[in-house]
């Protein structure tokens, strides 16, 4: 039986690749030879020309947010727009909550 595949992303190329998971080796982008980022099996890549969505994704990945499946389904809430990211970043600054936790918060009080 084949192993399940998971997603890897190259932010400079705005490209996503599905590959078998293996924690023992570093994945390299076939376009630019930069290291790929493991984002998880529940990831759906935005279109390459959607610059705002890739900017949002860059903020999420740099904050340590990934797209792994949980026991109840998908990865949970993830912001899709830069406005949602800004709201959650401002909330984190105001309250002192860690940025990664604020970014996955469905509602900002």
Res 85: pLDDT = 93
pLDDT digits (tens, 9 = 90+) for 63-74: 999 988 766 666
pLDDT tens figures, 89-107: 999 999 999 999 999 988 8
C-beta pairs of 60-67 under 8 Å, 24+ apart in sequence? 60/85, 60/103, 61/9, 61/11, 61/37, 63/99, 63/100, 63/103, 64/100, 65/100, 65/103, 65/104, 66/38, 66/39, 66/40, 67/7, 67/39, 67/40, 67/41, 67/42, 67/43
Q: Domain-by-domain residue ranges, the chain? A: 5-103
Radius of gyration of the chain (CA): 15
18-51 pLDDT tens trace: 998 877 788 999 999 999 999 988 899 999 999 9
């Amino acid at each position: 039986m084949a192993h399940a595949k998971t997603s890897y992303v190259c932010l400079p190329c705005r490209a996503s690749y599905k590959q078998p998971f293996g924690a023992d080796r570093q994945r390299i982008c076939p376009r630019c030879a930069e290291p790929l980022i493991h984002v998880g099996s529940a990831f759906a890549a935005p279109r390459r020309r959607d610059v705002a969505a890739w900017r949002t994704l860059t903020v999420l990945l740099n904050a340590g947010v990934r797209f792994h499946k949980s026991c109840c389904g998908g990865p949970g809430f993830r912001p899709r727009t830069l406005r949602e990211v800004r709201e959650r970043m401002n909330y984190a600054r105001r309250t002192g909550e860690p940025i990664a936790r604020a970014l996955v918060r469905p509602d900002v009080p």
